[in-house]
Amino acid sequence: MSSTHWVVGINAVAAALENDAEHVREVLVEAGAKNPRVQALEREAGDIGLTVRRVSAQALDGISGGARHQGAAARYEAARTWDERELPGLVENAGGRALVLVLDGVQDPHNLGACLRSAAAANATAVVIPKDKSAPVNATVRKTASGAADRIPVVRVTNLARSLRTLKDAGVWVYGLAGEGEGTLYGLDLEGNVALVLGGEGEGLRRLTREQCDGLVRIPMPGQMESLNVSVAAGVALFEAVRQRG
């Protein structure tokens, strides 16, 4: 299933042109823009045969919905969205080394975009998010993710607890990160099929999500802080898996 939307910002538009140009329908640039990167995007889009329109800054303001557009936007038709029924296949294709990031209600689009960027950098198998109580993959998310939203399967699921059971049935160990976890992240074996589950900015992991985890672990924090930003915690957890996998 495809969906059409706008991506805004120089990095987001450049990533769409670089990684999935066939699904970019048109590029908009601010008329009279002096930024050489905007000018380069205009040339690149024209060179590959895309429609390029010069529009006012006010028009870009309206498209961006408040996000900082930097003088560039693109109408983008995403190649596809991923369905929860495809999770077992994604795990199987990972050959026993699936690494899944599960986000239980991350509602800040900047946090979600940063999580997607870290997941793509760690070569994660997929990112799973619920359809409710979660930020959608919108223009702000795509800009923050710097192209990661087009490089990694983002699976939006109706029932997160059920999807965690699906992962477990597919041979994935599911670990939730929580401050009260008895063990630590660094005591886990993360070399096989693993899903790392992080809660949202407010309440953290919901009860039904916790009940589906094989264990709860914490990130040791010797400093005087109770928790980390969810995107920072996701990066720490994902790259501990990368470290273990060599």
Please enumerate, by residue number, every residue annotated as part of a binding site for S-adenosyl-L-methionine. 199, 219, 228
- Among 176, 184, 177, 175, smallest CA distance to 222 is for 184
- Among 46, 48, 1, smallest CA distance to 22 is for 48
DSSP annotation string for the chain: ---EEEEESHHHHHHHHHHHGGGEEEEEEETT---HHHHHHHHHHHHTT-EEEEE-HHHHHHHHTTS--TTEEEEEE-S--B-GGGHHHHHHHTTT--EEEEEE----HHHHHHHHHHHHHTT-SEEEEESSSS--S-HHHHHHHTTGGGTS-EEEES-HHHHHHHHHHTT-EEEEE-TT-SEEGGGS--SSSEEEEEEBTTTBS-HHHHHH-SEEEE----SS-S---HHHHHHHHHHHHHHHH-
Please enumerate, by residue number, every residue annotated as part of a binding site. 199, 219, 228
